[in-house]
Chains A and B, each alone.
Chain A
Amino acid sequence: MQGFPILSVMLAVPAVAAIACLFLRAEAARVVALAATLIDFALGIVLWSSFDIGGAQWQFVESAPIFGRFAWALGIDGFALMLIMLSVFLMPICIGASWKSVTERVPEYMAAFLFTEVLMIGTFAAQDLLLFYVFFEAGLIPMYLIIGIWGGANRIYASYKFFLYTLLGSVLMLVAMLYMSQAAGTTYIPTLMAYDFPAHVQTWLWLAFFASFAVKMPMWPVHTWLPDAHVQAPTAGSVILAGVLLKLGGYGFLRFSLPMFPEASSQLTWLILLLSAIAVVYTSLVALVQSDMKKLIAYSSVAHMAIVTIGLFAFNRQGIEGAMIVMLSHGLVSGALFLCVGVIYDRLHTREIARYGGLSINMPRYAVFFLLFTMASIGLPGTSGFVGEFLSLMGTYRVSTWAALVCTTGIILGAAYALYLYRRVAYGEIKSEEVRAMPDLTSRELWLLAPIAAVVLWMGVYPESFLAPMRQDVGRLLARIERATPPSDSNPTAGRPTALAAAAHAETHP
């Protein structure tokens, strides 16, 4: 596999398809888009299978210094691999979800999605600081158009809010990036990850990156763009927004904030823990009182992302691995929940929870899937949500018992709002004749939800498949940040299994 520029090809396929879509009619554009995303998914499987677990940190490396100030440098480690897999897995599902529901300006729609895919893969694969920024920031343009053109009633407000909010966050990061590239004399990310900036500078750089990633994440109190964007975006737009774009923030913390500024990360862990703890409790409570399904899921996303941030800043293996699994799991589960909302929205054209009821009677298959994803969102053992949240909270406990205590209430509150949603939508009597007339899942919708359900269970039962590629990278990251581990209030003392065993031995054989 070495020598073949697979990452560039993965970027080129959707890019070419996107340009082609602009010149095609609606039907052809749908087919081209689906074909391109499936090819990319196949390439993704090749990428994963030829990824050498335990091998070099950076694999599939490509570099061509053709842009003067910065280079076309690509390469991935285990974290990036997993997130690229998530993107290429969700993209065909997004195209499928828009197959029938998008009828206007289909070629442009497909082109916008394919460009989004290019930019997402590029963000995870970029090894050049400025190239990363270009991919990271360019994602705003297609998303702005997707929300603005194909969105709901209040789409224009939502699209502006989304664009300007995230742009303001990222420009500060760009100033920091310029400084870093001048101070270190390079824009090559692996070199910068090993470069030690002076401690007082680190704090400023950390804050500049924080401004961008916290908005992207989103963290409380800069999360307010997310519910608006989600509610107004078309179904597939919400899936990609929740599934992948929110992961950019977490990826940024993992790739930049922690390894490049370990001291600053340690000093400011309190800030992350505080904001995350507030986010978990506050947004869960807000989710509880929502009457709009998409808004409810959007707020639950903020709460889940807070579990990611506390895990990342736990400075230990459980926390970081847990955070990554939460990101992957949330990408799948919230994406699937948005699809579930989309399924019934396509039938009744409303997201008002109160209009539905008793769907388990006339849509049994739908109710099963919806239940599975609701449970995964709560974190029921056996689903992906449990693995991630458990690891993440366990890691947090070793740094701050208080943060772990407060954030764990998120699981209880999560159960409350998710089950309450499920009860109102699926159980009870059928609300109206309109609801009674809704048909169960079509085979197309089944094909969209079934693969996600399979992966959610796979990740819940055997997370090792997903943890293995990242294990070594977590080790490298820990080796880099160990020196700055923040003080902990939990001080767990190791047990003494050997002494006990010896005592037991002595008892039985006096």
Chain B
Amino acid sequence: MNMAADFAMVLPEEILSAAAILLMLVAAWGGQQVTRLVSIVSVFVLFGAGIALLGPASYGGSAFSGLFRADAFAAFCKVLIYGASAVAIIMAPDFFGRTSGDDLRPEYPILILLSAIGSGMMVSAGDLLTLYVGLELQSLSAYVLASFMRRDSRSGEAGLKYFVLGALASGILLYGISLVYGFSGSTLFADIAQAYAGGRSPGLLFGLVFIFAGIAFKLAAVPFHMWTPDVYEGAPTPVTAFFASAQKVSAMAMGIRVAVEAMGPALADWRQIVIFASMASIILGAVGAIGQQNIKRLLAYSSINNVGFTLVGLAAGTAQGVSAVLFYLTIYVVMTLGSFLVVLQMRDADGQQLETMASLSGLSRTRPGLALAMAMFMFSLAGIPPLLGFNAKLAVFDAAVQAGLFPLAVIGFAASVIGAYYYLRVVKVMYFDEPAHSFAPGDRVEGGLIALSAAFVSPLGWLLLAPLGAWTLTAAQSLF
């Protein structure tokens, strides 16, 4: 492979990096007043990077002697990541503009861009070190984003908590990487897979456990989930939406790639870990959400719950399972962004953000359209047909049943009933209770995005099932 071909495969990353550096200079010189400009340019840059994915970045194979993978799987995940990042930038100005205290600063879109680059590296990694570098770039930007509201003590607390626990997780992951390197003699996925195929050794097994623990932390899968509710609650809402969407995709995709490409021969070993994490996340995510009064904390538990469902697909360990995970993630990202956009609309007459469940009371009378959209997201997250969330659950359990994991499917489905309880609670508050607040009218762009995501999860989205299914399957098959 010559150098030019290698660089063509990382074109999206190049575009994003160059833009991030340039915009940082613009921000440094321009100061506060260029915020709007930087935001708009960042969104276009993300679109540009998305278009660049059409090139060798989606079919080139491996670049830089196997350090970097440019395949359909990575391209698919990057589409989701870039899309979610763009939405996170679009939803920010209105939020910061209305919240007293902190203004939006031009660094916000730049940090999102940097985080998107890191996420892109994670899903494209062909080597444990590429993976680690990508992960750190993504995480460091995320720590800053979490504490972006400098005068809000909750935001600062969220950033600090995220940083301390994130650093611990990185340490665990790095320890796992060092063990795997020590016992297999390489950090390249292909070589590691050979070492795992060659037979079991305690060192490799320990490495596997530590690496999966690190991934579980990034994914917020039980038992490494404790940071999630606090960080989600404290971080500014657009950042929370970003954490719950783009970061979830990148962490999940990284997990899939490591599991399938590097540790594929050790399927039986990591499957136990994945099944445990999946069951525990589904159940704990569902039970933990029941008592929550803060809507952001509720959505945090909901994300833990959903991670559990995506892991069901990974536990199957087949191309169909991975395809189901990607399918699930796509629908999940739309539902999550939609719900957070609705949360952003929850503002009292002064524009201050409201976050309690009670403030949603009677929303169906004051803002019927908004309530309908939120109800659709909630039923969809609960997996009730005919909303699209049902098809997502169907896909992962279909894969699990095909792999013969019947107990997993039965327990998972039964636990989804517990989850349905708290999603129903949101609907109950909106539809059955008397109106409490009338929200300030919302932004038109956000309204449009909400309508778009609601249309996607509605039965209209069913028409996309066949093409989306075909696309995720192609993406998944590029790993096997």
Contact across chains for A160 and B421 when beta carbons are under 8 A apart? yes
Chain A 129-142 near chain B by CB (<8 Å), digits 1 or 0: 01001110110110
Residues of B within 8 Å of A130, CB to CB, are 394
Chain A residues near B413 (CB, 8 Å)?
Answer: 171-172, 174-175
B397 with A140: CB separation less than 8 A: no
Minimum CB–CB distance from B393 to chain A (whole Å) comes to: 9
- Of B417, B427, B465, which is within 8 A of A164 by CB? B417
Interchain CB contact (< 8 A) of B462 among A67, A148, A156: A67
**B402 contacts A by Cβ under 8 Å:** yes
User: A179's closest neighbor in chain B, by CB?
Assistant: B401
Contacts of A108 in B (CB 8 A): 364, 368
Q: Is the CB of B386 within 8 A of A145?
A: no
The answer, yes or no, to whether B440 is at the interface (CB within 8 Å) is no
Question: Which residue on A lies nearest to B400, using beta carbons?
Answer: A178
Instruction: Give CA–CA (A22, B372) in the complex, Å.
Output: 11
B-side contacts of A174, CB under 8 Å: 394, 397, 413
Query: Is A68's CB within 8 Å of the partner chain B?
Result: yes
CA distance A347 to B117 in the complex (A): 68
Query: Is B432 within 8 A of A156, CB to CB?
Result: yes
Does B44 belong to the interface (CB within 8 Å)?
no
CA A119 to CA B257, docked complex, whole Å: 41
B265 touches A (CB below 8 Å) = no
Question: Max chain A CB contacts within 10 Å: which of B379, B385, B413?
Answer: B385
B-side binding surface: helix, strand, loop or mixed? Answer: helix
Q: Whole-angstrom distance from the CB of B48 to the nearest CB of chain A?
A: 31
Encode contact with A along B459-480: 1 for CB under 8 Å, 0 otherwise: 0001101101110000000000
Chain B: minimal CB distance from A22 (Å)? 8
Q: Which residue of chain A is the closest to B466 with respect to CB atoms?
A: A68
Residues of A within 8 A of B397 (CB): 174-175, 178
Inter-subunit contact A69/B465 (CB<8 Å): yes
B139 at the interface (CB under 8 A from A): no
Does the CB pair A168–B417 fall under 8 Å? yes
When the two chains form their complex, are residues B410 and A68 in contact, meaning their CB atoms are under 8 A apart?
Answer: no
Given A149-B432, A178-B409, CB of A163 within 8 Å of CB of B402: no
Query: Which single member of A105, A137, A163, A172 contacts B385 (CB below 8 Å)?
Result: A137
Interface string of B156-196 (1 = CB under 8 A from A): 00000000000000000000000000000000000000000
Chain B contacts for A164, CB-based, 8 A = 417, 420-421, 424
Contacts of B250 in A (CB 8 A): none
B420 with A133: CB separation less than 8 A? no
In contact, B402 and A182 (Cβ under 8 angstroms):
yes
Q: How many residues in A have their beta carbons less than 8 Å from beta carbons of B?
A: 34
Number of interchain pairs (Cβ within 8 Å): 91
How far is A108 from B420 in the complex, measured between Cα atoms in Å?
22
B384: which A residues are within 8 A, CB to CB?
Answer: 137-138, 140-141, 167
The reply on B398 being an interface residue by CB < 8 A is: yes
**A160-B386 contact in complex given A69-B398, A149-B432, C-beta closer than 8 Å:** no
Given contacts A67-B465, A69-B465, A178-B397, contact A148 B431 (CB under 8 A): yes
Q: How far is the CA of A143 from the CA of B117 in the complex (A)?
A: 46
The answer on a CB contact under 8 Å between A156 and B428 is yes
* B115 on the A face (CB < 8 A): no
Closest to A204 in B: B406
Q: In the complex, how many angstroms separate the beta carbon of A309 from the nearest chain B beta carbon?
A: 24
Q: A67-B462, A69-B465, A171-B413 are in contact. Are A141 and B379 (CB under 8 A)?
A: yes
A210 to chain B minimum Cβ distance, whole angstroms, is 15
Q: Mark B400-420, 1 if CB is under 8 A from A, else 0.
A: 011000100110011011001
| Chain A min CB distance to B414 (Å) | 6
- CB–CB B465/A68 < 8 A: yes
Among candidates A134, A135, A168, residue contacting B414 with C-beta atoms closer than 8 Å: A168
B421 touches A69 (CB 8 A): no
B390 contacts the other chain (Cβ, under 8 Å)?
A: yes
Q: Which residues from chain B contact A160 at a C-beta distance below 8 Å?
A: 421, 424, 428
Cβ contacts under 8 Å, B390 to chain A: 134, 137
Is B149 close to A, CB under 8 A? Answer: no
Chain A residues lying within 8 Å of B463, measured Cβ to Cβ, are 66
What is the distance, in angstroms, from B455's C-beta to the closest C-beta of chain A?
13
User: A residues within 8 A CB of B468?
Assistant: 68
Cβ B398 vs Cβ A167 within 8 A: no
Does A295 sit within 8 A of B, measured CB to CB? no
- Give A156 to B429 CA distance when docked, in angstroms: 10
Is A155 part of the binding interface, using a Cβ–Cβ cutoff of 8 Å?
A: yes
| In the assembled complex, B395 has its CB within 8 A of some CB on chain A | yes
How far does the Cβ of A180 sit from chain B's closest Cβ, in whole Å? 10
What is the bound-complex CA distance between A179 and B397, given in angstroms?
Answer: 10
Chain A proximity of B387: nearest CB distance (Å): 8
A-side contacts of B421, CB under 8 Å: 160, 164
Among B402, B409, B466, the residue within 8 A (CB) of A67 is: B466
User: What is the minimal beta-carbon distance from A241 to any residue of chain B, in angstroms?
Assistant: 18
Which residues of the partner chain B approach A69 to less than 8 Å between Cβ atoms? Answer: 391, 394-395, 398, 465, 469
In the complex, the answer to whether B385 meets A155 with C-beta atoms within 8 Å is no
A225 interface residue per 8 A CB criterion = no
Determine how close the nearest CB of chain B comes to the CB of A182; give it in whole angstroms.
6
A144 at the interface (CB under 8 A from B): yes
Complex contacts, A179 vs chain B, CB 8 Å: 401, 406
Give me 10 other A-B pairs in contact (C-beta within 8 A), A67-B466, A133-B385 excluded. A66-B463, A68-B470, A135-B385, A137-B390, A138-B386, A160-B428, A164-B424, A168-B414, A175-B406, A175-B413
A-B contact pairs, 24 of them (CB 8 A): A66-B462, A67-B462, A67-B465, A67-B466, A69-B395, A134-B385, A137-B384, A137-B385, A138-B386, A140-B384, A145-B427, A149-B431, A155-B432, A156-B432, A159-B428, A159-B432, A163-B420, A164-B420, A168-B414, A168-B417, A178-B401, A178-B409, A179-B406, A182-B401
Q: Could you tell me which B residues sit within 8 Å of A by CB distance? A: 364-365, 368, 379, 384-386, 390-391, 394-395, 397-398, 401-402, 406, 409-410, 413-414, 416-417, 420-421, 424, 427-428, 431-432, 462-463, 465-466, 468-470
Q: 5 tightest CB-CB pairs across the interface, nearest first? A: A171-B413, A68-B466, A134-B385, A68-B469, A68-B465
